């Protein structure tokens, strides 16, 4: 009887270790599978931030040029913006932002 009890205890321990090992392996597999989409999402966010920063830099350069050429009147600048909008170079939103910055 004592031998059967010892064997039974060893079986319980082996089963426990087997279950824990299987769970750890499954956890590693899930993490490996999930890491690719997560990294792609992070990269996409970085690209969006980079694009937004580049657009802001373009606006800053444009307005720095305006400050250098203060001889041009506000109405002439608005007419130029209107022409760019009509040609399709500026969107309505860009036109409105630029116009507000010139006026202010």
- Residues 77 and 50 grouped into a single domain: no
> Contact at 8 Å (CB) between 78 and 99?
yes
Which is it for the CA torsion 17, 19, 21, 27, positive or negative?
negative
Tell me which residues of the chain have a pLDDT lower than 50.
none
Which pLDDT belongs to residue 38? 81
- How many domains are contained in the chain? 2
Which pLDDT belongs to residue 104? 75
- Residues 7 and 51 grouped into a single domain: yes
- Residues 64 and 92 grouped into a single domain: no
Q: What is the pTM assigned to this prediction? A: 0.38
DSSP character for 70? Answer: T
Domain of residue 94: give its range.
72-104
């Amino acid at each position: 009887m004592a031998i059967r009890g010892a064997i039974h205890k060893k079986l319980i321990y082996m089963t426990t270790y087997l279950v824990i090992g299987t769970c750890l392996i499954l956890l590693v597999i899930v993490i490996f599978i999930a890491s690719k989409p997560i990294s792609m999402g992070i990269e996409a966010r970085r690209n969006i931030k980079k694009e937004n920063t580049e657009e802001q830099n373009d606006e800053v350069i444009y307005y720095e040029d305006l400050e250098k050429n203060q001889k041009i009147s506000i109405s002439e600048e608005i007419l130029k913006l209107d022409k760019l909008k009509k040609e399709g170079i500026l969107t309505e939103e860009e036109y409105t932002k630029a116009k507000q910055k010139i006026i202010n």
